[in-house]
Chains A and B, each alone.
Chain A
Amino acid sequence: MHTPAGAPPSRRRFLALAAGGAASGAAALSGCALQVSSGVSGPGETVTLMVKPEDISPEQIKQAQKDIGVKIVTVKHDITKLIAMLTSGNPPDLVRGVGAVDAPFFAARDVAEELDPYFAKSSVLKVDDLDPVNDLWRYDGRTQGKGPRYGMAKDFSQDSMYWYNTTHFDEAGIDYPPETEPVTYEQWLESAKRLTQRKNGQTIVFGGSYNGLYEVTNLSGLTAAAGGTLFNDDFTRVDFTAPEARKALGWYIEYGRTRVGPSIIQPDPNTWDGPTYQAGRIAMSNSGYWLGGLINADEKLAKVSRLAPAPMFEGGRRVSSCQGGTGMWMPRKARNKDAAWRVFEWFFGEAPAKERAGGGWGIPSLKSLRPLMPAEKDYQRQVLKVQEAELEHFSVISFSPYITGDGFKALFNQVAPAAMKGEISVDTLARRLNSIINEQLARGKEQVG
């Protein structure tokens, strides 16, 4: 139908044109989904990294161009944006991920590339040089820790260990924890109560902080330390009413109820232990070796700080897992896989990896880089000695591919505060957690197939 020249466009025609424009705009917008936030120009191939700003510095990006001739552009890590990019078939070439919770999730959904062929060819990242923590990035279609590799940790810690400030122990007249033998969780909580200092309704010093990286990794670790497992064999269900899981849950709720440290009902305004510990307001901080990066930067604090082994339950077993294993993975639909792998090798095995190893912000994920860990000062040697002894107790605690760490946390947050405030019993909480988490696991199982 032609509109006579000069005739006014009808509303219908105008709206049709507008809708057409909107549709074109939508298509254009989806093409713009990849928004590059920084990068360097120059010859060679381009690799897109979806990372957090602290993962790679602008200097390192420039260095990559010099070292390997690859231009790196970065996109700020955002799970919603990542899903949009994966859905539109335009993913980044490498993506930041937390091995402990992300690896099975993405691998099970078939969006992550198997990296075994790349490792097999690599002269930089040799499989026999990989620390066992990298097994967090393995998934065999059922169990985390076995099967093909989908990523690699940049560094790691055994996150159930804890740092303590000797000043507070001295003030409270409590003996320092042993360097190589674990205290029990019951003893840890008892010490935390004695170390807590309160005045006028305010907590001046938190006796101890024990929240782990994620609720699920923390509770899985606690359950393992009690001698059980949180998930069933095929990771489709949790059972908090099982004796070991019930013991772990009961301990964590008691930790929250006694308010000896930050928790969901008593949040730390800093949102993490670092600044609060630095200010001398936490006596024991459940942070692994990586917190040493912050502690070492302040010699005064470093001299009164010690690292202690992960506690265990009375009658349980000694286990010290990594709750993070943060690193990177390669999407299956990455456009520039070979160049991405070159960046992967450089980031995990060359200059940036060496720089991280010397910084004390985690144990290197390559065994060959361990000699670079800081050991010049006495306090650094004490920390290293405790850490090296703890490595013997490392194990991978498998996580379910049918729920995310965030999903577990959100559900936990819905019901746990009532138990921490004493409004419901731990048994009631255990039953409620079973109900809502198993429901989410069932949905995840159906969608993964």
Chain B
Amino acid sequence: MTVEQISTVADRAKEATASGRAPADGRPRTSMTTRRHRAFYMFTSPWIIGFLLLTIVPMVYALWLSFTTYDGISPHWRFIGLDNYSELLADPVTWDSLGRTGLFAVTSVPLSIIAGLGLAVLVNRPLKARGLFRTLLYLPAVVPPVGAGIAFKMMFDQNSGAANGVLNIFGIDALGWLADPYARYVLLMTVLWGAGNIMIISLAGLQDVPRELHEAATIDGASAWRTFRSITVPLLSPVLLFQTVTGVIASVQTIMPLLLAAEATTAGVTAIPQSNYMYMMHVFAEYFALGRYGYASALLWVLFVLILIVTGLIFRFTSGVVFYNVDPEAKK
């Protein structure tokens, strides 16, 4: 069937729908638009049902819990209105953990992006065995978090870890890496360990930068740094924005490396060093160690709203510096 024939069939179907006439065999026929709608909804319905079931329903349930003293098992729970919210505003542990989490986000996100982008720039150059380097640098990102967590714990153990073994070789006394004040640096290292993910996305972005722009800059005598700053970074800015937004969201929800570094019991995880006692650890302790489902749900809702605000602010403050390589007329 040629393009013209398809157009003719589609036009006839449109005409029939518009005039309200049924086709010759008397059965109602579905229009192309209807079928496209159906196909769209059929393909998206698993996600939408999953979203409702696994996101919206739990969120609404958690919102309801946040107005109660419910602990999942005790018989005399009650509605307390906004008391959980007013308590969390006065809870120093909430503010301390939120402050630590904010500090962790503003440190770890830029460092991860710089590390990932730096690696991407390196492996985008015409090196020998470039594919091997790319694979090796990406490998840590595919190591399961549980394995990575255990490896870090063993590596940085004060009394038997490899890190202190190296220090001892240089005559430096062993450090308590997994305790304060060093534990925060180990956490940062576990995050940077997974910079391969950022590298891959940045690499894809770098390969999308037109080569002729770089060539033109070179002909004009621009230095490598100037080319990177004035051509590469602006063209990569949508990718960097994406990484910033997802990085911030992931960092404020950091919990997995903290759980892995701790004793594997419900309350044991609260024994992590104070400098790593992030907001999600506070939530975890309130939910599972103290059984305060209502209070912990309030903490989660506050975090959700904060994430929305922070994300909104990032979009607002970057709207003038992010360069989208699309034809503005095409949007109309």
Do A and B interact? yes
Complex Cα gap A110–B175 (Å)? 49
**A389 → chain B, closest Cβ, in Å?**
32
Complex Cα gap A19–B52 (Å)? 7
Q: A109-B74, A202-B158, A405-B267 are in contact. Are A5 and B288 (CB under 8 A)?
A: no
Q: Are A110 and B75 in contact (CB under 8 A)?
A: yes
**Which of A6-14, A334-342, A376-384, A392-400 is the interface stretch?**
A6-14
Complex Cα gap A369–B101 (Å)? 54
Quick one: which of A402-431 are within 8 Å of B by CB?
404-411, 413-414, 417-418, 421
**A94 → chain B, closest Cβ, in Å?**
18
**A269 interfacial contact with B, CB 8 Å:** yes
Instruction: Report which of A29, A80, A200, A409 forms a contact with B267, defined as CB distance below 8 A.
Output: A409
Q: Are A414 and B270 in contact (CB under 8 A)?
A: yes
Instruction: Report which of A26, A202, A421 forms a contact with B159, defined as CB distance below 8 A.
Output: A202
Residue in B closest to A87 when the chains form the complex, CB atoms? B72
Instruction: Report which of B57, B159, B178 forms a contact with A204, defined as CB distance below 8 A.
Output: B159
Instruction: Report which of B38, B69, B161 forms a contact with A447, defined as CB distance below 8 A.
Output: B69
A contact residues, range: 35 or more
Q: Are B75 and A447 in contact (CB under 8 A)?
A: yes
Q: Write out, one digit per residue, whether chain A residues 85-124 have a CB within 8 A of any chain B CB (1) or not (0).
A: 0110000000000000000000001110000000000000
Q: Are A80 and B288 in contact (CB under 8 A)?
A: yes
| Chief secondary structure at chain A's binding surface | helix
Quick one: which of B216-273 are within 8 Å of A by CB?
263-268, 270-271, 273
**A185 → chain B, closest Cβ, in Å?**
23
Complex Cα gap A404–B30 (Å)? 62
**B27 → chain A, closest Cβ, in Å?**
9
**Which of A59-67, A259-267, A322-330 is the interface stretch?**
A259-267
**Which of A134-142, A304-312, A438-446 is the interface stretch?**
A438-446
**A36 interfacial contact with B, CB 8 Å:** no
**A12 → chain B, closest Cβ, in Å?**
12
Residues on A with C-beta less than 8 A from B288 are 79-80, 406
**Which of B41-49, B130-138, B201-209, B307-315 is the interface stretch?**
B41-49
**B29 interfacial contact with A, CB 8 Å:** yes
Quick one: which of A172-225 are within 8 Å of B by CB?
200-204
Residues on A with C-beta less than 8 A from B285 are 410
Instruction: Report which of A19, A22, A448 forms a contact with B75, defined as CB distance below 8 A.
Output: A448
Residue in B closest to A403 when the chains form the complex, CB atoms? B290
**A280 → chain B, closest Cβ, in Å?**
13
Q: Are B176 and A266 in contact (CB under 8 A)?
A: yes
Residue in B closest to A4 when the chains form the complex, CB atoms? B28
Complex Cα gap A444–B75 (Å)? 11
Complex Cα gap A204–B290 (Å)? 36
**B31 interfacial contact with A, CB 8 Å:** yes
Q: Are B271 and A267 in contact (CB under 8 A)?
A: yes
Residues on B with C-beta less than 8 A from A127 are none
Q: Are B267 and A109 in contact (CB under 8 A)?
A: no
Q: A200-B174, A202-B174 are in contact. Are A9 and B37 (CB under 8 A)?
A: yes
Complex Cα gap A26–B263 (Å)? 33
Q: Write out, one digit per residue, whether chain B residues 270-298 have a CB within 8 A of any chain A CB (1) or not (0).
A: 11011000000000010011111000000
Q: Are B41 and A22 in contact (CB under 8 A)?
A: no
**A44 interfacial contact with B, CB 8 Å:** no
**B148 interfacial contact with A, CB 8 Å:** no
Instruction: Report which of A26, A84, A200, A410 forms a contact with B57, defined as CB distance below 8 A.
Output: A26
Most chain A C-beta atoms within 10 Å of own C-beta, residue among B161, B164, B263, B267: B267
Complex Cα gap A18–B56 (Å)? 12
**A181 → chain B, closest Cβ, in Å?**
33
Q: Are B76 and A446 in contact (CB under 8 A)?
A: yes
Q: Are A9 and B77 in contact (CB under 8 A)?
A: no
Q: Are A83 and B263 in contact (CB under 8 A)?
A: no
**B297 → chain A, closest Cβ, in Å?**
14
Q: Are B73 and A111 in contact (CB under 8 A)?
A: yes
**A105 → chain B, closest Cβ, in Å?**
9
Q: A8-B37, A22-B57, A449-B75 are in contact. Are A413 and B168 (CB under 8 A)?
A: no
Residues on A with C-beta less than 8 A from B2 are none
Instruction: Report which of A29, A269, A411 forms a contact with B153, defined as CB distance below 8 A.
Output: A269
> 5 other contacts beyond A79-B288, A203-B158, A265-B180, with CB at 8 A cut-off?
A7-B34, A18-B49, A200-B164, A267-B179, A417-B274
- Can you list 13 residue pairs at the A/B interface with Cβ under 8 Å? A8-B33, A18-B49, A21-B45, A22-B49, A25-B53, A109-B74, A202-B158, A202-B160, A202-B168, A281-B159, A407-B289, A410-B285, A447-B76
